[in-house]
């Protein structure tokens, strides 16, 4: 079997023999991976255009929701990937890190959409005034690069390694071409097949090259980005490729590194920190059989505790059962293949020239449920290097497997020096309950590590551990680790975007950024800005209020109400030597009074005050001063609605308070939650009557098998249920799902087509109850009247629905709006 690649919109197969892929447990050949004969330059061009163009046009919110949808889709199908992952030698826990950790990356990056504007590009930082008059300014924007992200991945995380990178470039608006390591490409290919079949990503957003290729870098262009995960040796070769230099292509390397963990001098046997340290080292040695770029390779221990750590760690390793990863009792599976086993043994032999093997063996082991000779099994190997300052191999040689070395230190300065001798790593950790020592180590070692975990009893239960990269944190490290910074929340996304400084007038930059800039022209509105729905509000939309004079009584009353009796407000005899000349209004009174001037009193789309983001008092307001307000839309931000909450977005409003001399006295940015437009047609007796007028016996459904009369009778029946006339049925939705199902009424999502009707309705739909369509229409309108009358007479009543449970009048209205729209659309009436 030759593994297929997905490029240029289709699955295709390379030529030649390719690289063999083996079952790590049995040693059997799974198949071959090859990219020979594939048009790789065309694949890169396809990603830049077909996939890239669509992604670049999507907003951050659309990209984020796409990732969330994909994560949910993959998570429902995760078990099929576990079955394949066992062949890589991974246990269930190992596979969980790779598979569900990869899906978790999609979820985490999807959530970052909330930090970006509701547009395809990002506006970074604060505006910069380039002139004294405020009429010439600058702002930085970041736009998606117009290239393709080329990801060259390692064998140890065939799912996580792909998705942790792709999630970031997709959020940035960039397509990806993935080159998984041939050893485990079969698992990557299985996931890509499911992703492609889902249709969730735009075509061209993800392409897969299943096999080694030496030509991938020969046609990269200046707008492309290349990332590499693997050995430092291979990474340096790729980084020196002349095409990268010629085109100035960004190259990110995340290489193997000699990560270390330090035991604090206070963490003696019997302390929680000692136990945490030992368990963490054991975990990092055995999870994924030590085939992790973040695994602990160097164990740095106070010289008086080396023996204690060696004994305790040996006891922990004795508990590790090695064998077939499918078996529940097995705690450590196999390395990826026999070649990797030999590679690890060779590296251990080099380390053993100066260090002693104090636990484990390089000989063949007995594997539980598997043949130790045929599978790629290896015992955990613990070494001890007593002179780590003289014998530097331990800081230079990595055995990429279940191998780690203990070494002593005398004081914190020595521990820091040993940590630095690895010449850069992805992660380090220190286990101590002495925060002073923790600070000393972190400040001293941070220059050589991409991440440092401080472990102690307080964080133990919530800690993700030494070796777990997190999507919102930088994953990378200096020096030997490659100098890269993958992931890292917004920072990772920006790696795939081009930063550009935009200069111009505030009005121009308001238009470019979608964010109102101070001194830009206002956009006067026909209605009060609070009367507009979220979609109709735009940056610069503005309102100038009427005026209000601040009196002594206002100030005194506010002081009594708030208990804020600061002398400037209440004791005018104490003003000498202060910045105040007269009785001064409270700053928060000015903001409150401003709100009273600009708030729209009528019920409308503004659902709630969402908070105050900034507030500045520029000069005092004294009694008898007059103020007015200029309220201007600064920015719109999309948000997810949850629970029983109608869809809404956030609007930031720039509030400028002026005095009677038109001098600016205060500014603030307030946030309001503003409802979005309801996409459904309004449902009332009049509108229903109008739609029914278009319906005839000959009207054909766009989907489904209902006849016009069945549809009308079905709607009439739902109204009779709502008005309490029919309640002799059970709620079919299980109790544990009922709240979530009921919450769906508040969304703007349409009801699904071809949805299975509750059993109660199946029979009713099949049997016509009236003589003809005309009679059914009459009965429907009568049922609508009865529904309205019932809730007019019983405004607090609830009646049950077979799917949504008990609903009040407001919720029934939501349900009927969706339901009637659904069926009217089904028959082409909308």
d(CA 419, CA 441): 10
DSSP 261: E
In Å, how far are 2, 78, 449 from 224, measured between CA atoms? 29, 31, 27
The residue among 180, 211, 112, 121 whose CA lies nearest residue 492 is 112
What is the radius of gyration, based on Cα positions, of the chain? Answer: 33
- Sequence-separated (6 or more) residues with CB below 8 Å from residue 808: 796, 797, 798
- Angle in degrees, CA 55, 56, 61, rounded to 5: 70
Q: Phi first, then psi: what are they for 29, rounded to 5°?
A: -80, 125
CA 184 to chain centre: 26
d(CA 511, CA 85): 50
Q: Which residues of 706-733 are buried (b: 16+ CB within 10 A; e: fewer)?
A: bbbbbbbbbbbbbbbbbbbebeeeebeb
260 a catalytic residue? no
The residue among 297, 381, 377 whose CA lies nearest residue 330 is 377
Q: Do residues 758 and 732 lie in contact, with contact meaning Cβ atoms separated by under 8 Å?
A: yes
Full DSSP string of 510-555: HHHHSS--TTPPPEE-SS-GGGS-GGG--TTEEEE---EE--HHHH
CB atoms within 10 A of CB 288: 28
- As beta bridge partners, residue 414 has none
d(CA 565, CA 568): 8
Phi-psi region of 9 (alpha: psi -120 to 50; beta: other; left: phi over 0): left
SS3 for 115-172 is HCCCCCCEEEEEEEECCCCCCCEEEEEEEECCCEEEEECCCCCCCHHHHHHHHHHHHH
- As beta bridge partners, residue 7 has 10
- As beta bridge partners, residue 629 has 657
CB atoms within 10 A of CB 197: 10
Candidates 100, 164, 189, 254; catalytic one: 254
d(CA 142, CA 124): 7
d(CA 81, CA 818): 37
Classify residue 565 as exposed, middle or buried by CB count within 10 Å of its CB (0-12, 13-18, 19+): exposed
Candidates 164, 189, 280, 293; catalytic one: 293
CB atoms within 10 A of CB 686: 9
254 a catalytic residue? yes
Active site residues: 254, 293
């Amino acid at each position: 079997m030759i593994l297929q690649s997905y490029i240029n919109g289709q699955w295709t197969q390379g030529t030649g023999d390719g690289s063999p892929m083996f079952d790590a447990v049995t040693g059997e050949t799974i198949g071959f991976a090859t990219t020979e004969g594939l048009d790789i330059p065309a694949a890169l061009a396809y990603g830049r255009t077909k996939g890239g163009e669509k992604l670049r046009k999507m907003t951050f919110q659309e990209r984020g929701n796409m990732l969330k949808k994909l994560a949910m889709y993959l998570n429902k199908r995760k078990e099929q990937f576990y079955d394949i992952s066992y062949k890589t030698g991974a246990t269930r826990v190992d596979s969980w890190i790779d598979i569900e950790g990869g899906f978790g990356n999609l979820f985490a990056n999807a959530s970052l959409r909330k930090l970006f504007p509701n547009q395809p590009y990002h506006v970074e930082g604060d505006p910069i005034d380039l002139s004294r008059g405020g009429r010439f300014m600058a702002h930085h924007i970041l736009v998606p690069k117009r290239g393709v992200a080329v990801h060259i991945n390692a064998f140890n995380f065939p799912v996580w390694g792909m998705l942790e990178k792709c999630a970031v470039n997709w959020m940035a608006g960039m397509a990806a071409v993935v080159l998984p390591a041939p050893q485990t490409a079969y698992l990557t290919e299985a996931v890509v097949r499911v992703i492609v079949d889902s249709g969730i990503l735009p075509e061209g957003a993800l392409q897969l090259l299943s096999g080694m290729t030496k030509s991938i870098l020969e046609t990269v262009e200046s707008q492309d980005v290349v990332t590499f995960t693997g050995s430092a040796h291979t990474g340096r070769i790729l980084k020196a490729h002349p095409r990268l230099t010629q085109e100035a292509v960004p190259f990110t390397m995340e290489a193997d590194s000699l990560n270390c963990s330090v035991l604090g001098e206070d963490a003696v046997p019997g302390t929680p920190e000692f136990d945490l340290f030992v368990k963490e080292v054991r975990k990092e040695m055995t999870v994924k059989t030590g085939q992790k770029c973040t695994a602990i390779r160097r164990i740095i221990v106070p010289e008086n505790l080396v023996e204690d750590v060696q004994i305790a760690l040996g006891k922990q390793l004795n508990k590790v059962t090695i064998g077939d990863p499918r078996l529940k009792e097995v705690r450590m599976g196999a390395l990826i293949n026999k070649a990797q086993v030999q590679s690890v043994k060779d590296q251990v032999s080099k380390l053993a020239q100066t260090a002693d093997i104090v636990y484990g063996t390089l000989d063949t082991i007995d594997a539980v449920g598997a043949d130790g000779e045929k599978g790629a099994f290896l015992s955990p190997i613990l070494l001890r290097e007593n002179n780590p300052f003289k014998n530097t191999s331990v800081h230079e040689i990595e055995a990429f497997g279940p191998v780690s070395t203990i070494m002593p230190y005398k004081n914190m300065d020595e521990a820091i020096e040993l940590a630095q001798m690895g010449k850069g790593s992805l992660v380090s950790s220190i286990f101590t309950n002495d925060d002073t020592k923790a600070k000393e180590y972190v400040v001293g070692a941070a220059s050589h590590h991409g991440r440092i975990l401080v472990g102690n009893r307080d964080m133990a239960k919530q800690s993700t551990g030494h070796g777990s990269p997190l999507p919102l944190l930088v994953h990378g490290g200096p020096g030997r680790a490659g100098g890269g910074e993958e992931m890292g929340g917004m920072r990772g996304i920006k790696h795939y975007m081009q930063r550009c400084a935009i200069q111009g007038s505030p009005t121009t930059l308001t238009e470019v950024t979608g964010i109102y800039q101070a001194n830009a022209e206002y956009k006067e509105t026909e209605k009060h800005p609070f009367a507009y729905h979220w979609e109709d509000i735009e940056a610069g939309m503005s309102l100038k209020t009427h005026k209000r004079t601040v009196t002594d009584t206002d100030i005194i009353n506010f002081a009594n109400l708030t208990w804020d009796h600061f002398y400037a407000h209440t004791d005018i005899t104490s003003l000498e030597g202060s910045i105040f000349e007269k009785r001064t209004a409270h700053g928060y009174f000015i903001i409150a009074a401003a709100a009273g001037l600009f708030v729209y009193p009528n019920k409308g789309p503004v659902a709630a005050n969402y908070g105050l983001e900034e507030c500045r008092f520029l000069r005092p307001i004294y009694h008898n001063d007059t103020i007015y307000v200029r309220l201007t839309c600064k920015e719109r931000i999309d948000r997810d609605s949850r629970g029983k909450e109608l869809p809404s977005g956030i609007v930031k409003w720039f509030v400028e308070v002026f005095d009677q001399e038109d001098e600016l006295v205060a500014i603030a940015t307030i946030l309001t939650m503003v409802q979005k437009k309801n996409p459904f047609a309004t449902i009332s007796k009049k509108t229903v009557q109008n739609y029914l007028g278009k319906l005839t016996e000959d009207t054909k459904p766009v989907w489904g098998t209902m006849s016009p009369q069945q549809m009308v009778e079905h709607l009439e029946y739902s109204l009779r249920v709502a008005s309490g006339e029919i309640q002799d049925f059970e709620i079919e939705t299980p109790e544990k799902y009922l709240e979530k199902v009921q919450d769906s009424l508040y969304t703007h999502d349409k009801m699904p087509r071809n949805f299975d009707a509750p059993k109660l309705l199946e029979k009713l739909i099949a049997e016509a109850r009236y003589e003809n369509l005309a009679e059914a229409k009459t009965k429907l309108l009568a049922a609508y009247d009865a529904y309205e009358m019932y809730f007019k007479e019983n405004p607090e009543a609830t009646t049950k629905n077979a799917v949504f449970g008990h609903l009040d009048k407001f919720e029934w209205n939501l349900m009927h709006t969706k339901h009637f729209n659904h069926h009217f659309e089904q028959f082409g009436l909308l």
